[in-house]
Amino acid sequence: MKKILILGHRSFVATSLYEKLIAAGHEVDCFSRGEETRNQDIVGGNLSNIATNKFLKQEYDIVINYVILKDKGVVENIEFLKSLVDFCTVKNVKRLIHFSSIMVYDNNEPFIDETTAIEKNTFKTGYGEVKIAVDYYLMSLANLPFSISFIRPGYVLAKDRPCPFVKRLPLGITIIKGDKRSKQPIVKREDIHQALINMVNEGSHELVYLFVPNKEVTKYGYAKEHFGGILVPLPKWLLLGFSKMFLRLNLIKKSFYVRIEGMYIESKYNSKKTEEVLNIKF
């Protein structure tokens, strides 16, 4: 049995992980932002002073962090991570499992596995920019008394969440946000939870875990299998071509161009090491 704290337990990706960890025999607390209280296994409080929250246990073996301050920028998110590092140190945490994203990789990276370096000098904004900055901050820390593992999943899908790269229209028409070669790996939420349980139970301590399927499935192929009907991909030569022209003419910002570019990622993803270590297939 391990003592585990889940941060961001109400997030879509974390939903039902608490119950599964309990069923696996672990002692689990969940932390939510709000008034400093405890209601059974749910602890409330301020993220900025989590290390001094009187309702949290004296020690935890593992912290699983899903939190990203979506309405804040890089500075605020790194400030939260500093508080989290302090918390892990004070509470004698042995391991921090931090949820990252495949958005930390360059849009033009041809091959991505657990050893691939993340993007530098990014023009990404919002979620991608924050994820990259936070990962760099955590990787820069030295001589910590606990280990850090980065979880980098594809787009997490469950029955109650729509597919991000399709737009359904009347008459059975589906617009694909990309062309026939574009990719956006899809991973099931239940597979992520099982992988985490295997990680906790078996004590695997890799630096990076890549949660993506080892299948060369394109957006077009996924849409064909799951939606059918009339599929209309958006041609790369047209959207990206015009975007490049507008960029050269200073009619759009580089960040906007990068967003369009992100629709046409063709990277080859290889998560075989993660699958072997965790004994799972995504």
Residue 170, domain member (yes or no) = no
| Contact yes or no for 169/189 (Cβ under 8 A) | no
Taking 80 as the threshold, does the pLDDT of residue 159 lie above it? no
- Is residue 215 very low, low, confident or very high in pLDDT (cuts 50, 70, 90)? confident
Please check whether residue 172 lies inside any domain of the structure: no
Report yes or no on 175 lying in a domain.
no
In the predicted model, what is the mean pLDDT of the chain? 95
Please check whether residue 249 lies inside any domain of the structure: no
Residue 204 has pLDDT above 90, yes or no: no
The per-residue DSSP string of 148-192 comes to EEEEEE-EEE-TTS--TTEEEEGGGEEEESS-TT----EEEHHHH
CB atoms within 10 A of CB 23: 9
**Segment 117-138, tens digit of pLDDT:** 999 999 999 999 999 999 999 9
CA–CA dist 254, 260 (Å, integer): 10
Domain limits for position 90: 3-163+185-218+268-278
Q: At what angle do helices 74-90 and 127-140 cross, to 10 degrees?
A: 40
Q: Give the pLDDT mean for 233-241.
A: 96
Residue 95 belongs to some domain of the structure: yes
Q: Is residue 64 part of a domain?
A: yes
List phi, psi (to 5°) of 203.
Answer: 70, 30
Tens digits of per-residue pLDDT, 53-75?
Answer: 999 999 999 999 999 998 899 99
Percent of the residues in the chain that have a pLDDT greater than 90, as a whole number: 92
* Residue 221 identity: G
Domain total of the chain: 1
Residue 47 — very low, low, confident or very high, per pLDDT cuts 50/70/90? very high
Average pLDDT estimate for 85-100: 97
Instruction: Give helix 236-248 / helix 254-261 axis angle, nearest 10°.
Output: 170
Q: What is the mean pLDDT of residues 192-203?
A: 94
Mean pLDDT, residues 79-107? 97
With respect to residue 201, please indicate whether it lies within any of the assigned structural domains. Answer: yes
Beta carbons within 10 angstroms of residue 239's beta carbon: 17
Looking at the predicted structure, is the pLDDT value of residue 271 above 80? Answer: yes
User: Residue 143: what pLDDT?
Assistant: 94
3-state DSSP helix/strand/coil percent for the chain, to nearest 5? 35, 20, 40
Closest CA to 5 of 96, 75, 73, 79: 96
Alpha-carbon span 232 to 177, nearest angstrom: 9
CATH number (domain holding residue 155)? 3.40.50.720
In a domain, 174, yes or no: no
- Average pLDDT score over residue span 195-207: 92
